[in-house]
Amino acid sequence: MDATERIQAASKFLLQAPPGEINDVLNDVRNIISDDESLQDGVLPALREYNLAQFTTVDVPGADHQAIVSEAARLPGEDERFFDPRSKTSFVFDHLTLEAADAQPVEIDADAEPFRAALEAATLSYLQAHFHDGVASVFAVTGSSKFFVQIVANKYNPSNYWSGRWRSEYVVNLDENRVDGKVLVNVHYYEQGNVQLSTNHTSSLSLPSAVVTSAPGPSATKILALIEDEEGQYQTSLNDTYHEMGEKTFKGLRRALPMTRQKLDWDKVLGYKLGAELSASKGVFGSS
């Protein structure tokens, strides 16, 4: 493998990092590649891609809330400048330290702002109602009637060897009267093992025209009520999926005990196998 291929392989590892473990993966990769100089610049694109895809949260300079750094949060025409519509601040984001710097006030799309602000208010109260430690951002797409609602909730518990992340994204399109959603859940449990839950769920809904034509406030509240309902149903249906996997797949792969409801009698397993030709009628299982 040449240097370029090694950086490519390292980048692939980084993109697979479980919730909250990007630094652990980066440390391992640094040790394995043992060429900090080429690594530092080489993996930056992967770190950037990871941060944007994973809805990395950032403390907004000068505000007392966090915002999501994602593709939707990128300031149009800029590569590394992101913005938080809630505080109307833009900032440069460091993909390695995950810190924001050089905060500047940002001009917002006045036409879209009333509905965006209403959607944000409704999203924040939904966040309060259903997420432990969640962060949400709502973005208006300039020059269209499209809005991005993004939610992320993280729980990292390295001392108990687990971490989890819930990501939701809804694209509200007022021109087409529809909402397209996506929920991604990742859980990593790694005490004496490595067990991961990974789910993806997409949903779409045509909005009744009454919802779209209402004033921003009631319209946004109604849309979030629909989302609340859908996500609640999804979470409940996950229970059914768990039940099904436990009852059908898990039991189908390996029984808890043989049909006889007792463990094997190994002396007889052996005796039966060795003496199979002599006494084929001998039972395999004992009563002990």
Give the residue carrying structure tokens 């080429």. Answer: 38
Select the span of 94-102, 136-144, 214-222, 246-254 touching other proteins (CB under 8 A). Answer: 246-254
End-to-end CA separation in angstroms for the chain? 58
Q: Which of 4, 128, 142, 144 binds other proteins (CB under 8 A)?
A: 128
Indicate the SS3 state at residue 102: strand
Of positions 155, 173, 214, 216, contacts other proteins by CB under 8 A: 155
Q: How far is the CB of 242 from other proteins (least distance, A)?
A: 5
User: Could you say whether residue 281 binds other proteins (CB under 8 A)?
Assistant: no
Per CB under 8 A, the segment of 20-28, 39-47, 53-61, 213-221 that binds other proteins is 20-28
**Nearest CA-CA partner of 211 in 199, 201, 226:** 226
Cβ proximity to other proteins: between 88 and 130 the closer is 130
9 contributes a contact to other proteins by CB under 8 A:
yes
> Interacting stretch for other proteins, rule CB under 8 A, among 61-69, 95-103, 105-113, 232-240?
232-240
Alpha-carbon distance of 188 to 191, in angstroms, equals 10
Query: Which one, 213 or 233, has the nearer CB to other proteins?
Result: 233
CB under 8 Å, gap of 24 or more: what pairs does 207-210 form? 207/177, 207/178, 207/179, 208/177, 209/177
Alpha-carbon distance of 219 to 223, in angstroms, equals: 6
**Total of residues contacting other proteins (CB under 8 A):** 95
By DSSP bridging, strand 100-105 and strand 178-189 are: unpaired
DSSP type of residue 143: T
Q: Which of 44, 269, 275, 282 is in the footprint of other proteins by CB under 8 A?
A: 269
Would you say 223 and 119 are in contact if contact means Cβ atoms under 8 Å apart? yes
Q: Does 229 bind other proteins (CB under 8 A)?
A: yes
Using the rule CB under 8 A, give the single segment among 36-44, 86-94, 126-134, 139-147 that binds other proteins.
126-134
Q: Does 29 bind other proteins (CB under 8 A)?
A: yes
Stretch that binds other proteins, among 54-62, 89-97, 154-162, 213-221 (CB under 8 A): 154-162
CB 117 within 8 A of CB 107: no
Please list every residue from 177 through 216 that binds other proteins, using CB under 8 A.
183, 185, 187-190, 192-206
Q: Is 130 in the site for other proteins (CB under 8 A)?
A: yes
Whichever of 203 and 214 has its CB closer to other proteins, that residue is 203
The reply on whether position 33 binds other proteins by CB under 8 A is yes
Give the integer Cα–Cα distance in Å for 212 and 217: 11
Q: Which is nearer to other proteins, 24 or 80 (CB)?
A: 24
Decide if residue 129 touches other proteins (CB under 8 A).
yes
What CA–CA distance (Å, rounded) separates 127 from 232?
13
Nearest approach in angstroms of CB 220 to other proteins is 17
- By CB atoms closer than 10 A (0-12, 13-18, 19+), residue 287 is exposed
* List 51, 54, 154, 219, residue binding other proteins (CB under 8 A): 154
How many other CB atoms are there within 10 angstroms of residue 163's CB atom?
19
Check: CB of residue 227 under 8 Å from CB of residue 126: yes
